[in-house]
A and B are shown apart, each in its own frame.
Chain A
Amino acid sequence: MSEVSNKKFAAQVRLETIKEVGKRGFGHIGGALSATDLIAVLYNDVMNYDPKDPNKVDRDKLVMSKGHAGPAVYAALALKGFFPIEWLDTLNQPGTHLPSHCDKNLTPGIDMTTGSLGQGVSTSIGLALAQKLDGLDSYTYLCTGDGELDEGQCWEGALFAPSQNLDNLIWFVDYNKRQLDGATEDIIDLLNVAAKFESFGWHAQSIDGGDVDAIKAAIEVAKSVKGKPSAIVLNTTKGAGVKYVEDIFMNHHIPLVDEGLAEAIAQCEAGLAAIEA
């Protein structure tokens, strides 16, 4: 556990994410914010890593398969010292280390390049399998979106991972119920996601994905399960924690400028101040 509480760290990540995207003026903000509580708990309280040695062999790894949540991951990495916080001002600028979608060759601390949805499922299985083969005690964490589950590759991986007893693989589904074109239930209704994973041979939990304590507890439970991989369905809100963004229904990729940006920053700062009070 670091000196900052998970709740406070999540609020810091939110604020930095909004400022980062605001600097560029637009971005994939809704899905970055819904995954922020997870990202905060992982980097603040769960994962084994060394910001000075981002490639250390026995580190835990995060595959942010919904690569468009990159800006929130970058905020967490910067706050934890992987690179200077000023880099956040360069999101999607020419020559940046921080592209819209995660790129392991550009950003210290990013463990896998993602962006074409579904692909992180298989690459995370490869990483987890290698950890097992090398006798490491480390974990691979995978985060997909909910719309991402429309991709067949997700289910190829979901079928395969239990066959290798990959209990060092924990898959989070950021179930914010919305995808680019609207509500998931209006596009392809995913119905009971946890039940799907269970039937594929995974240990599955469904929790409040906006509650950092619930996330931490679910990870502890997942780690206690031996012989099978774990899925944790995070029931979240797209745009979570920033009312200005939450209130925009189609908030997958939106402009963030002027009064809107100022309002979003003010909301993040108020949230942070309330925690610090």
Chain B
Amino acid sequence: MSIIYDGTLDKDQYKGVFGEAIEALAAEDKDVIYLDCDLMNSFGTYKFWQGNKNQAFNIGISEANAVGIAAGLSAAGKKPYVHTFGPFASRRCYDQAFLSVGYTKNSVRIFGSDAGVTAAFNGGTHMPFEDMALYRAVPEATVLEVTDAAMFRALIKLTKDRPGLNYIRTTRKNYPTVYSADHAFEIGKAETLTEGNDVAIFAIGLMVGEALKAAATLKEKGINARVIDAFTIKPLDLETLKKAAEETKAIVTTENHNIIGGLGDAVLGGLSELGIAAKVKKHGVQDRFGSVGDQKYLQEFYGLTAEKIVETVEAVLA
């Protein structure tokens, strides 16, 4: 297992990764049930649905109902996986996820696709910048964001028997490859991607690749950045955070999400829990709504780029 990042994008789009992975998992475990809200064609699962009407159900455009049905299936011993776009997988079914799943101690995996600006041409109505904030506030919930295809495949399996509410945020497209196919992930354990003691950059999802690019630029400027993939936002890896706070001069968090309630606040909360003082700067969407455009434009628009990470690091170290 290893880190194999060289800036190249994963060759498979993650909707295809999910479609293959869920079909294989359903074949292995008859209790795996997949529910979607009329987005199977968009998430690579249409073929699976057509071929297996006992393990794949199209609930229609009714996210609250889908999450409630998943809760009922869980109470009867099934292992439901639910998918829809991130804003609908959080805002439209929040009370159902909170009560029928979380509070009731049912176990459901909810996949929210089109993380942040990756919603691109679907625009502001479809662009979740707050989904992780909502799910972090559900007691005992697990909140994960996908970094690359190898991790996505692993998380689909790792959450199968994980109790409680699991929210997995992903894109349908693809990010740069970071991990080898056999990399072993652990929920609750962040991945340290580069070594460095000047600054620690905690990144998730889309921003992991940007952070690695930023680290290369910073290196040329004589700044050694420790890039940490904090894909496990809840539970947060406090050990890695403690080490970073103690061994580096500052922490920068970067996320394709509102800086309110996401990774940055999780890191600050972690430091508070640890009782450690550290210089922290949150980088991400600055309390804005989503908007429409191609992803490159939107990354520039919201400042979700390696260049902005470099600027943020330089400012925090200045």
Contact = CB atoms under 8 A, between A and B. Distances in A.
Interface stretch (A118-126, A185-193, A236-244): A118-126
- Label chain A's interface by main secondary structure: helix
A127 B69 CA distance: 8
A103 B103 CA distance: 9
B65 A160 contact: yes
In the complex, which range does the number of interface residues on chain A fall in? Answer: 20 to 34
A115 B66 CA distance: 18
Contacts of B95: 116, 119
B40 interface: no
Interface string B48-60: 0000001001011
B104 to A, nearest CB: 4
B60 A126 contact: no
A129 B73 contact: yes
A153 interface: yes
Given A126-B70, A127-B75, A130-B76, A116 B99 contact: yes
Contacts of B67: 122
A113 B103 contact: yes
Interface in A101-137: 103-105, 111-113, 115-116, 118-119, 121-131, 133-134
Interface in B93-137: 95-96, 99-100, 103-105
A156 B59 CA distance: 9
A134 B68 CA distance: 19
B76 A122 contact: no
Contacts of B269: none
A129 to B, nearest CB: 6
A128 B69 CA distance: 9
In the complex, which range does the number of interface residues on chain B fall in? Answer: 20 to 34
A135 to B, nearest CB: 11
A271 interface: no
Contacts of A225: none
Nearest to A123: B72
Contacts of A115: 99
Contact of B99 (A105, A119, A121, A133): A119
A125 B96 CA distance: 14
Interface in A183-218: none
A10 B75 CA distance: 29
A123 B75 CA distance: 9
A118 B75 CA distance: 17
A156 B65 contact: yes
A29 B166 CA distance: 37
Contact of B68 (A105, A125, A159): A125
A116 B76 CA distance: 20
Interface string B27-62: 000000100000000000000000000100101101
A121 B62 CA distance: 13
B36 to A, nearest CB: 13
Contact of A104 (B60, B73, B75): B75
B267 interface: no
Given A119-B95, A119-B99, A126-B71, A113 B104 contact: yes
A157 interface: yes
B75 A157 contact: no
A184 to B, nearest CB: 22
A269 to B, nearest CB: 37
Contacts of A127: 72-73, 75-76
Interface string B157-187: 0000000000000000000000000000000
B91 to A, nearest CB: 14
B139 interface: no
A126 B35 CA distance: 11
B74 interface: yes
B288 to A, nearest CB: 29
A122 B68 CA distance: 5
A160 B100 CA distance: 18
Contacts of A130: 72-73, 75-78
A113 B100 contact: yes
25 contacts: A105-B104, A105-B105, A111-B75, A112-B72, A112-B75, A112-B104, A113-B99, A119-B100, A121-B65, A122-B64, A122-B66, A122-B100, A123-B69, A123-B72, A123-B100, A126-B75, A126-B78, A126-B80, A128-B72, A131-B76, A133-B54, A133-B78, A152-B64, A156-B64, A157-B68
Given A126-B68, A127-B75, A133-B54, 19 more contacts: A104-B75, A112-B75, A112-B104, A113-B99, A116-B95, A119-B68, A121-B65, A122-B68, A122-B69, A125-B72, A126-B72, A129-B72, A130-B73, A130-B76, A133-B78, A152-B64, A153-B96, A156-B62, A157-B69
For the complex of A and B, the 4 pairs showing the least CB-CB separation, nearest first, are: A126-B72, A122-B68, A130-B76, A156-B65
